[in-house]
DNA sequence: CAATCCCTTGCACTTTTCCGCAATGGCACC
DNA sequence: GGTGCCATTGCGGAAAAGTGCAAGGGATTG
């Protein structure tokens, strides 16, 4: 079994529930922190003392409070941690349930497991740890199906995602056109953007641009 | 100390964290359930056996799954429970952080305490239990802070939220006007909706309607 | 009762978005 | 090289959204 585990979770009671469940797996050293920055510090310190953590279990969203923060999310934490300790195993434990978002976590951050905060999560986290210990990847039961099934498999390219992001950021169509022109994107005229937007609306079944972005956000594309 | 506590919380690990913390307070009988309907059944059964629960600690939101549900939220649960056992103490434990919403819980459901899911919630839940035991009302420290801080002071009323929701659902301004007119809302003309939308854009610092809804979603208002 | 304030609403005008149509040009396939 | 397909783009008119202005209408205050 793993010997040294770090947990980053900002809800105190949930963190203590996690600690308890991992202790039941006979993991001797379990550290719980409530801030991403603290997690990174612990990882660094452990590395320096030649006693690195083998696995990091982290939430995705951390509420802001009076403290100043460098890292504000689990994604950022994982990215930073992997820079200094690339071989560490990472498990994401979150309420996130948007397939697109979780797929992105796997593709870009190469996480080893994802467990949703849900009713059966005690079993799930246990299974996840065991699978990761064996060098396998683990995703919550509820997700496995969704991740593989083709129905949810809308593939949006960089252009589409950027377009939706710019829209969500408050740019007008004309400003987006300008943005694309400055960066020499292929379809950069106002008319092309409108065309693309129309197609995206069809794909998402959206009636208005607002609806489109709301759908894209709900499904985790942006 | 209380002798018999019921916990309704749909995240398994959080529930077990709660159980652990309450056990540390020397509460002998702690039952944890993951569904509102189960909570109501437990309360009913305990009453019938003349061994009623003294206090109910419940989350507000319970994720839907394959099971059919009568009660879908902590609010509904509390309302039903108070019908059959009006003297039971109720503590809400939730990520909810909108002051208005929590005030409504106090005003309409007469809850005895509110504890937010946050970093220091272990201490908070302990304090809450002790205060409620003494017949007092308790609200999280963070809430008192939120009351003062201007940052979280965005209070949107039902009208604003509905407006944003309808927009996100793909309705056009004119359709929203019609929707409001059918339901006899106060500001139901197209012009009023545009006016309100303009004000919301100012509040959220949004440049376009898309931006507005994206912000509202990110910040958890809809 | 008058003065005042704020909210609601309609009107008119501008800006922005939507969308069909047609011209152009690249690319693949025959 | 010819043919067809599709993405890109401009144009133009229609639809939708944004906004200043002013006319009411309550509610409050002096």
Give the separation between CA A194 and CA B145, rounded to whole angstroms.
Answer: 46
Give tens-digit pLDDT for B12-53.
999 999 999 999 999 999 999 999 999 999 999 999 999 999
CB A57 within 8 A of CB A7: yes
pLDDT of residue B150: 45
CA distances B178 to A81, B91, B184, B189, B205, Å, are: 53, 40, 10, 8, 27
Best to test chain A binding among B64, B170, B204 (most A CBs inside 10 Å)? B170
- Pick from A7, A12, A197 the residue to mutate for testing the B interface (most B CBs within 10 Å): A12
Residues in reach of strand D, judged by a CB distance below 7 angstroms, are A 186-192, 195-196, 208; B 172-174, 191, 194-195, 197-198, 201, 208-209
Residue A207 · residue A198 · CB < 8 Å:
no
Q: Which chain A residue is nearest to residue B204, measuring alpha carbons?
A: A170
**What is the structure's pLDDT at B149?**
55
Q: Which domains does chain B have, with CATH numbers?
A: 4-148 (3.40.50.2300), 158-218 (1.10.10)
Query: What pLDDT, in 10s, does the model give residues A118-151?
Result: 999 999 999 999 999 999 999 988 777 666 654 5
Report the alpha-carbon distance of residue A34 to residue A13 in Å, rounded.
11
Q: Does A174 touch chain B (CB under 8 A)?
A: no
Taking the CA of residue B193 and the C1' sugar atom of nucleotide D17, their distance in angstroms comes to: 11
SS3 at position A199: helix
Residue A105 half-sphere exposure toward CB, CA atoms < 13 A: 31
Mean of all residue pLDDT scores within chain A: 92
Hey, what are B160's tokens?
């604003």
What pLDDT digit, counting tens, does each position of B122-136 carry? 999 999 999 999 999
What's the average model confidence in pLDDT over B178-195? Answer: 93
Identify whether the C-beta of residue A115 lies closer than 8 Å to the C-beta of residue A93: yes
d(CA A53, CA A191): 53
Q: Does A118 touch chain B (CB under 8 A)?
A: yes
Strand C close to B196 by CB, under 7 A: yes
Give this prediction's pTM.
0.81
Unique residue bearing structure tokens 């939706």: A164
């Amino acid at each position: 079994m793993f010997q040294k585990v770090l947990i980053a979770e900002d809800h105190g009671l949930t963190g203590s529930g996690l600690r308890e469940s991992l202790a039941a797996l006979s993991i001797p050293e379990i550290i719980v922190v409530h801030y991403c920055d603290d997690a990174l510090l612990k990882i660094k310190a452990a590395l320096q003392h030649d006693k690195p953590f083998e696995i990091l279990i982290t939430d995705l969203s951390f509420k802001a409070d009076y403290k100043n923060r460098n890292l504000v999310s689990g994604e950022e934490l994982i990215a930073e941690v992997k820079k200094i300790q690339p071989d560490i195993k990472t498990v994401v434990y979150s309420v996130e349930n948007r397939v697109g978002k979780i797929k992105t976590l796997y593709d870009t951050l190469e996480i080893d497991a994802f467990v949703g905060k849900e009713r059966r999560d005690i079993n799930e986290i246990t299974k996840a740890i065991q699978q990761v210990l064996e060098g396998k990847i683990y995703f919550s039961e509820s997700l496995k199906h969704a991740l593989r099934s083709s129905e949810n498999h809308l593939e949006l390219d960089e252009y589409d995602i950027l377009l939706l992001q710019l829209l969500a950021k408050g740019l007008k169509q004309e400003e987006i056109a300008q943005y694309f022109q400055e960066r020499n994107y292929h379809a950069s005229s106002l008319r092309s953007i409108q065309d693309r937007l129309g197609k995206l609306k069809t794909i998402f079944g959206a009636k208005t641009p607002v609806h489109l972005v709301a759908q894209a956000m709900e499904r985790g594309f942006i």
